[in-house]
């Protein structure tokens, strides 16, 4: 079983904080779809695999049309075994979710919708340069629920340098009865408009605001029966995101489209983050648009620590012992002694992060990985 990711590299406009790969040349979606289907045809080593989940991410996958989606699903069906009822997610921007688009998505094999809301506050959305309004976000969620998309996630961002509070977004989220939430702390990525504004002293980021927001999030969501099951993810009724959970459990995945990553055993592949060069590489019928690396044991140990500790399934010390050479196990046990005991808990061989540990997860990883 393997998870499958498709990267759709188009957005209507650039959000101030974002460094994901996308282009605003929306007239290239047809060319992209053709190249993507050709790439799937070229990647023979994964043909006939049984898929555990499918995830359309971006960019903005909801910019594709009916014919393009159908071409992609037909190609996937030709090359993979897709068991019935596996999770098939699409990331969506609220402004694309017209009743017609929602009906189309419902007729296609998608059974989970992840809507990028970011905030329900109009001033915050304008500051982020989002392509939708707060009203559109709320409307798109209600419409999605009306037509039967109950397996629904929304993305929110906290730690925004505005006077508005995360409280308003949380209250709206609760009122809309959403089963899964991804809530990310605003990060300043190099070369983004946000980084530029900070460099020029037009924006300041307040660490204290992020900590205050985090406290409000934890309090509000735990009081309302959400389980904090991964650093940035919360759900009700055990509705864990299957595709992403499989990353955190260390399962293999294959990614198609510009900038998509793949993991097959110790191999890590990465597609080029440039649409023109991707189209050209694919049409040359080679895999020249892709770099491939075999991770050494230390890199795999570091990856093991970071992925396993993110989620509630935790890190199995015996698994670590059996997977890596003995000195990695010794290093881990030694490093664990230096870790703040309030940041993790241990039950037999299973180590999981506490709420505090999740808050300071980057410091936990730094303490346990091998430099």
Ligand X SMILES: C[S@@+](CC[C@H](N)C(=O)[O-])C[C@H]1O[C@@H](n2cnc3c(N)ncnc32)[C@H](O)[C@@H]1O
User: Which residues would be at the binding site for ligand SF4 (CB under 6 A)?
Assistant: 11, 14-15, 18, 20, 22, 58-60, 93, 116
The two three-digit tokens of residue 337, written as one number: 């002694």
- With CB cut-offs between 5 and 8 Å by kind, which of ligand X, ligand SF4, none does residue 157 bind? ligand X
Longest dimension (CA), the chain: 58
State in angstroms the smallest separation of the CB of 204 from ligand SF4. Answer: 22
Q: Is 184 in the site for ligand X (CB under 6 A)?
A: yes
The residue range among 13-21, 96-104, 167-175, 299-307 that interacts with ligand X, by the rule CB under 6 A, is 13-21
**Tokens encoding 151:** 């397996």
Distances (CA, A) of 123 to 53, 156, 161, 163, 322: 36, 15, 11, 10, 52
Cα–Cα distance measured from residue 26 to residue 12, given in angstroms and rounded to the nearest whole number: 7
Bridge partner residues of 313 (DSSP): none
Among 33, 52, 89, 118, binds ligand X (CB under 6 A): 118
Closest CB to ligand SF4 among residues 15, 368: 15
**Closest residue to ligand X: CB criterion:** 116
Binding marks (x or -) toward ligand X, 140..179, rule CB under 6 A?
---------------x-x----------------------
User: Smallest distance, Å, CB 57 to ligand X?
Assistant: 6
CB 44, CB 254: distance < 8 Å: no
| Minimum CB distance to ligand X smaller for 114 or for 314 | 114
> Could you give the CA distance from residue 242 to residue 254 in angstroms, rounded to a whole number?
15
Closest distance between ligand X and the C-beta of residue 307, in Å? 18
Report in angstroms how near the CB of residue 91 gets to ligand X at its nearest.
4
Region 76-95 residues binding ligand X, contact defined as CB under 6 A:
91, 93
Helix locations, the chain, DSSP H: 29-42, 66-79, 99-107, 122-128, 134-146, 166-175, 193-199, 207-223, 242-248, 275-283, 297-310, 317-323, 326-337, 355-359, 361-368
Shortest spacing between CB 325 and ligand SF4, in angstroms = 40
**Contact range with ligand X by CB under 6 A, out of 76-84, 186-194, 272-280, 359-367:** 186-194
Q: Which residue, among 249, 241, 301, 294, has the nearest Cα to 269 in the 3D structure?
A: 294
60/173 with CB nearer ligand X:
60
Query: Considering only residues 6, 186, 210, 231, which one is a binding residue for ligand X as defined by CB under 6 A?
Result: 186
d(CA 96, CA 116): 11
Cα–Cα distance measured from residue 138 to residue 149, given in angstroms and rounded to the nearest whole number: 14
Q: Among 33, 52, 53, 60, which residue sits at the site for ligand X (rule: CB under 6 A)?
A: 60
Does position 362 bind ligand X by CB under 6 A?
A: no
Choice from 14, 20, 168, 264 touching ligand X (CB under 6 A): 20
In the complex, minimum distance from the CB of residue 203 to ligand SF4, in angstroms, rounded to a whole number: 17
Q: How far is the CB of 12 from ligand X (least distance, A)?
A: 10
Q: How far is CA 43 from CA 7, 73, 76, 257, 286, in A?
A: 15, 16, 12, 12, 10
Asked if residue 244 binds ligand X (CB under 6 A), the reply is no
> Closest approach of Cβ 350 to ligand X, in Å?
29
Whole-number Å distance between alpha carbons of 207 and 160: 10
CA proximity to 130, closest of 68, 61, 60: 60
Query: For binding to ligand X (CB under 6 A), which residues are involved?
Result: 17-18, 20, 58, 60, 91, 93, 116, 118, 155, 157, 184, 186-187, 189
């Amino acid at each position: 079983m393997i998870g499958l990711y498709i990267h759709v590299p188009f957005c209507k406009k650039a959000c101030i904080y974002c460094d994901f790969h996308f282009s605003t040349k929306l007239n290239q979606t047809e060319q992209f779809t053709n190249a993507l289907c050709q790439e799937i045809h070229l990647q023979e080593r994964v043909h006939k695999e049984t898929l555990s989940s499918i995830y359309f991410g971006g960019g903005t996958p909801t910019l594709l049309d009916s014919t393009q989606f159908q071409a992609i699903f037909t190609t996937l069906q030709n090359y993979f075994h897709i068991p019935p009822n596996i999770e098939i997610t699409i990331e969506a921007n609220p402004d694309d979710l017209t009743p017609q688009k929602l009906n189309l998505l419902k007729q296609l094999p998608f059974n989970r919708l992840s809507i990028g809301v970011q905030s329900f506050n109009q001033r915050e959305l304008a500051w982020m340069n989002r392509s939708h309004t707060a009203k559109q976000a709320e409307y798109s969620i209600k419409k999605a629920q009306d037509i039967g998309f109950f397996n629904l996630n929304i993305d929110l961002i906290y730690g925004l340098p505005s006077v508005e509070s995360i409280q308003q977004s949380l209250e709206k989220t609760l009122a809309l009865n959403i089963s899964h939430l991804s809530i990310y702390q605003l990060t300043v990525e190099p070369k983004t408009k946000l980084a530029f504004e900070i460099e020029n002293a037009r924006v300041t980021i307040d660490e204290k605001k992020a900590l205050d927001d985090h406290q409000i999030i934890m309090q509000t969501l735990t009081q309302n029966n959400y389980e904090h099951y991964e650093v940035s993810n919360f759900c009700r009724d055990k509705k864990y995101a299957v595709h992403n959970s499989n990353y955190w459990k260390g399962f293999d995945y294959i990614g198609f489209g510009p900038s998509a990553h793949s993991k097959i055993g110790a191999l890590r592949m990465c597609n080029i983050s440039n649409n023109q060069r991707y189209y050209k590489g694919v049409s040359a019928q080679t895999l020249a648009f892709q770099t491939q690396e075999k991770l050494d044991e230390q890199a795999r140990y570091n990856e093991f620590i970071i992925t396993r500790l993110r989620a509630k399934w935790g890190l199995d010390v015996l698994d670590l012992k059996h997977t890596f050479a003995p000195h990695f196990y010794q290093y881990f046990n030694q490093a664990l002694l230096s870790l703040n005991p309030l940041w993790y808990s241990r039950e037999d061989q299973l180590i999981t992060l506490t709420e505090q540990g999740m808050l300071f997860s980057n410091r936990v990883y730094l303490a346990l990985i091998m430099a």
